[in-house]
Copies of this chain bind each other. A is one copy, B any other.
Amino acid sequence: MAMSMYAASVPVFQHMLRNLQHFLDKGEANAQARKFESAVLTTARLAPDMLPFTRQVLIACDAAKLCVARVSGVEAPKFEDNEQTFAELKARIQKTLDYLGSVPASALDGTEDKEITFPVGRDKTRTMTSQAYLTTWALPNFFFHVTTAYAILRHNGVDLGKSDYLAGAQR
């Protein structure tokens, strides 16, 4: 398969969202094994002014969904952002995977030079070519939130390692 806008986006998001589901499985199992409420992990933060675990997962999902929707033009479902438990977060990831799986490669391929305008913060927007948006904004943002979700669990003693991050349940 040749490198393309599709190959550089959808399969990468799918791979890492499945790995993220695996982190959630391990987080949930770890809370049960250590006998504390799983909300201790889902509400945990790395710093007082960083977002909690739940938001890291939701933003990772939306970073993937919104990137693919903006680049492909295939409308994405809206979600209410009210997930709190591991089960709800896993369902949100699955809904995101369902959307990603519905977008044909043909809707992304060849879009390299399309202009993408997207919100940055509350009141501003930025415009980039689709390719620059994917490679220097959407992918870095997506990986930021997947890695931060991992780091929150890891900081709180969940038994995760690099192979969980890279290969998920196939490790």
Residue numbers of A with Cβ under 8 A of B are: 1-5, 7-8, 11-12, 15-16, 46-47, 50, 112, 120, 131, 135-137, 139-141, 143-144, 147-148, 150-151, 154-155, 157, 162-163, 165-166
Query: When chains A and B are docked, how far (Å) is the Cα of A143 from the Cα of B12?
Result: 13
| Known contacts A47-B157, A144-B147, A147-B148: A131-B12 contact under CB 8 Å | no
> Could you tell me the distance between the alpha carbons of A25 and B113 in the complex, rounded to whole angstroms?
34
Majority SS at the chain A contact face: helix
Of B131, B143, B154, which contacts A46 at CB under 8 A? B154
Determine the chain B residues whose CB is within 8 A of the CB of A139 once the complex forms.
12, 139, 143
What are 13 residue pairs bridging A and B, where the CB atoms are less than 8 Å apart in the complex? A2-B112, A3-B5, A3-B8, A3-B112, A11-B135, A16-B140, A46-B46, A120-B163, A139-B143, A140-B166, A141-B162, A147-B151, A151-B151
Contact A165 B147 (CB under 8 A): no
CB of A1, distance to nearest CB on chain B (Å)? 7
Asked if B147 contacts A143 (CB within 8 A), the reply is yes
| CA A4 to CA B12, docked complex, whole Å | 15
On whether the beta carbons of A7 and B148 are closer than 8 Å, the reply is: no
From A159, which residue of chain B is reached at the shortest CB distance?
Answer: B49
Are A12 and B151 touching (Cβ within 8 A)?
no
- Which listed residue, B3, B15, B112, B135, touches A12 by the CB 8 Å rule? B135
- Bound-state CA distance A143–B147 (Å) is 8
- List residues of chain B with CB within 8 A of the CB of A148: 147, 151
